[in-house]
Structure 1
């Protein structure tokens, strides 16, 4: 959940102070890594789900403030736009039937949110990009009224020298758009998985998350349309990367490589390569690492290492897996989580990354191929050479994910059965949307009516009728 800040403007003195504190806290983090001070307790999981608010015509509805005030729930918070909110799941230990319990908890929270939305003549929908969103909807008038968003918008444009942001995506159609604000980012809604790992395994899980991203995304696309254009299977990926593009190293990216020995390498790269975007002044002691954590929070790697703190105050390490879209249903998202968690475990424990395994360049190529082509992507994998994504998943990676979950003590085979059936039927959220739109003669609103009806059923997407 994002943290609000007190100001929207920064002085040169603010930036100098922030730079000093960031350097101090990064040095402290290195000391904690070297002295093995991070928690070895691990395999805790949390979820964030970004959702859309739509009106009775399935167009975006800018009422998140009313919805949040009426609902008044600590696990439901604002997002960048007034037509998005974020649902959160309290962290849980990854064992036994934990994913089923998380599914049930999120389903109950979703029902409460929708009850309030209905009172406001609206509905919530989980989808990677909303087919009915218009370019004209993405304006500052629809930005949630929070300082952190105003400041983010101001600083992105400052770093761009006032130049507008350009989005150019070539898919089945071609999209070109220009904005003088960051609101294009609001068109991307995701399902984010936080995995707290034992400190000695954190860099292995980070590397495994990067390596697994391509094959996982191939099976999970749910964002084929934007502004009436048919683009990538997961259009969120190029859209987000371009929506906040600034000079210097990309802030939305796969990163520059695997972590060799520990995750401090990533935090030191943050210090070395990225200008502070929100140089907020905190009075907390360096041990709280407020400046390091805020700086890391505005570098949006698709797999992002995080430093947090247990209830006891002990520092811990997490990997935030950010590649997945919102939706289509909760059971689909839990299946996606099972695939990620099982496969990350299997790869982390097998040494499949780096020399003799999945190279970083290969992992990066796999990721963008999967984002564009989904199950039609050709991926590179050790021992397989170049292979179709569906065959790689069915023959190797779903079995590996099953083994990984067993290794973690998770008894959730049914969720991976859903992934297997989805790949066998070749019906992801994205492919269903394409077929459903064609069946409705290109009617985007008819598509959304059908999508929302099937989402309410709770059935996994591979079972949806066109």
Structure 2
């Protein structure tokens, strides 16, 4: 969905043409995977950060067009709302000093972006859900001026044919109606990418699914939406409901959701997921691509309109060889660059370690674990090996963080760096203070002043000190 399109109107002929190309792309990918013709390049990693443009009162400012015009950086792009932007780092091989270099890259990109925001009189903020956001901010007037977003809105409304009913029950209850897709703009993420060799793709994809409960709990940073205290990571139900359509047969309320945890582990190949895309999800945007068939343009674009929390992608090595990449989407933006680098270290190490043995729980249990962790954060209890129920904090300390350390060692990450970033995860787990818990603690100490809370949050964010050390 990061690719701009020419128009917003489509005909039945456009849909038939896209469907035929999508079927051909899917068959081609299956054939290449069956013949082991996808890339065997060692793991490569990268990130995407979605951020907010806000004023001095921490209210969203629809200024991403002015921001983009002043930022001389190809690694930035507008998001769905005019008050959101996306920043990317250059991908790097996942070995040796990669973690430290990632932190440095993110710091440099953020420094340039923050200076650009200051030049146009706004501030740049990383947080999963903006506590000062109002539902009235999420209007089509605040949609970015890109055809792909207008077309997405029109097509989703056509499939849904009624207003979105958002309902989230957490510590408090939120229920409202919304007429367009702009609720999606209320959730901003730190998306972690991992390019994988073909022979490890299935194992690493399944391991990413398993790791999600740990990473969403450790990284939780989104307790408040429209003034309500909801889940530790309210981004999860918000995003899942914002594009409320499913698959064929029951387009609006089908058993497979366009945003969600997925339907199962991959069994024999990662192309199974793309086959599911073809067979179970209607085409939203049947645009015409004139690229060669080996570029998988239709397959990649259709996949971009299906938002699994762990989403397999197809990309290309520098020599043009197609590769698989996993997009781990469960973490919110913020609280700091050092915290996000630590979250990435946990994910990369844990996925690598878990990929080397059979899954300790069924897919259904892994899914339940994920939602329990999103609701309760580090206070969650989940089921793990031998069907034993664990306090997640204890499981992290006793097993998951040590396994992540082993995984980073297997990847060849410098021990000093893996120890440094994983110790931040460990300290966060010991104190119980992630971004979500800090926000709730601030409110408990100072009352429901979301402006003051977010101003304090931004001041601490700029110091890039880990969130477990933040005072209340």
Q: TM-score range by the shorter chain?
A: over 0.9
Question: What RMSD, in angstroms, separates the aligned Cα atoms of the two structures?
Answer: 0.9
TM-score with structure 1 length normalisation? 0.98
Work out the CA distance in 1 between the residues paired with 2:116 and 2:91.
25
Work out the CA distance in 1 between the residues paired with 2:327 and 2:361.
20
Deviates more, 1:398-407 or 1:381-390: 381-390
Residue aligning to 1:241: 240
Map 1:327-406 onto structure 2 (within 5 A). Answer: 327-351=334-358, 353=359, 357-383=360-386, 385-406=388-409
* 1:294 and 2:293 correspond: no
How far apart are 1:116 and its partner, in Å?
A: 1.4
Residue aligning to 1:120: 120
Work out the CA distance in 2 between the residues paired with 1:17 and 1:317.
25
* 1:16 and 2:16 correspond: yes
Residue aligning to 1:454: 460
Map 1:59-458 onto structure 2 (within 5 A). Answer: 59-161=59-161, 163-246=162-245, 247=252, 248=254, 249-351=256-358, 353=359, 357-383=360-386, 385-411=388-414, 412-458=418-464
Work out the CA distance in 1 between the residues paired with 2:18 and 2:412.
43
How far apart are 1:399 and its partner, in Å?
A: 0.3
3-state SS of the aligned residue for 2:429? helix
**For the Cα contact (< 8 Å) 2:361–2:387, is it kept in 1?**
no
Work out the CA distance in 2 between the residues paired with 1:40 and 1:440.
53
Work out the CA distance in 2 between the residues paired with 1:432 and 1:374.
12
Work out the CA distance in 1 between the residues paired with 2:116 and 2:36.
47
3-state SS of the aligned residue for 2:208? helix
**For the Cα contact (< 8 Å) 1:170–1:231, is it kept in 2?**
yes
Residues 235-259 of structure 1, C-alpha deviations (whole Å, 9 max, x = no match): 0000000000112320001110000
Work out the CA distance in 1 between the residues paired with 2:72 and 2:7.
25
How far apart are 1:72 and its partner, in Å?
A: 2.8
Map 1:24-39 onto structure 2 (within 5 A). Answer: 24-39=24-39
Work out the CA distance in 2 between the residues paired with 1:447 and 1:438.
11
**For the Cα contact (< 8 Å) 1:55–1:123, is it kept in 2?**
yes
How far apart are 1:287 and its partner, in Å?
A: 1.0
Work out the CA distance in 1 between the residues paired with 2:397 and 2:131.
30
Structure 1: which 5+ residue stretches go unaligned? none
Deviates more, 1:436-445 or 1:300-309: 436-445
3-state SS of the aligned residue for 1:124? strand
Work out the CA distance in 1 between the residues paired with 2:101 and 2:176.
42
Work out the CA distance in 1 between the residues paired with 2:106 and 2:18.
37
Work out the CA distance in 2 between the residues paired with 1:41 and 1:268.
24
3-state SS of the aligned residue for 1:316? strand
Structure 2: which 5+ residue stretches go unaligned? 246-251
Paired positions, count: 461
Work out the CA distance in 2 between the residues paired with 1:116 and 1:217.
30
How far apart are 1:280 and its partner, in Å?
A: 0.8
How far apart are 1:51 and its partner, in Å?
A: 0.3
Work out the CA distance in 1 between the residues paired with 2:9 and 2:232.
38
Work out the CA distance in 1 between the residues paired with 2:387 and 2:182.
41
TM-score with structure 2 length normalisation? 0.97
How far apart are 1:42 and its partner, in Å?
A: 2.5
**For the Cα contact (< 8 Å) 2:348–2:408, is it kept in 1?**
yes
Residues 85-143 of structure 1, C-alpha deviations (whole Å, 9 max, x = no match): 00001110011111111111111111111111112111101000000000000000000
**For the Cα contact (< 8 Å) 1:215–1:379, is it kept in 2?**
no
3-state SS of the aligned residue for 1:410? coil
Residues 408-443 of structure 1, C-alpha deviations (whole Å, 9 max, x = no match): 001221000000000000001000000112222110
**For the Cα contact (< 8 Å) 2:54–2:125, is it kept in 1?**
yes
3-state SS of the aligned residue for 1:240? helix
Work out the CA distance in 1 between the residues paired with 2:116 and 2:275.
44
**For the Cα contact (< 8 Å) 2:89–2:109, is it kept in 1?**
no
How far apart are 1:41 and its partner, in Å?
A: 0.5
Residues 337-386 of structure 1, C-alpha deviations (whole Å, 9 max, x = no match): 000000000000122x1xxx221011000000000001111101014601
Residues 33-76 of structure 1, C-alpha deviations (whole Å, 9 max, x = no match): 11111000021001000000000111001100001101131001
Work out the CA distance in 2 between the residues paired with 1:72 and 1:65.
13
Work out the CA distance in 2 between the residues paired with 1:215 and 1:419.
11
How far apart are 1:174 and its partner, in Å?
A: 0.6
**For the Cα contact (< 8 Å) 2:217–2:378, is it kept in 1?**
yes
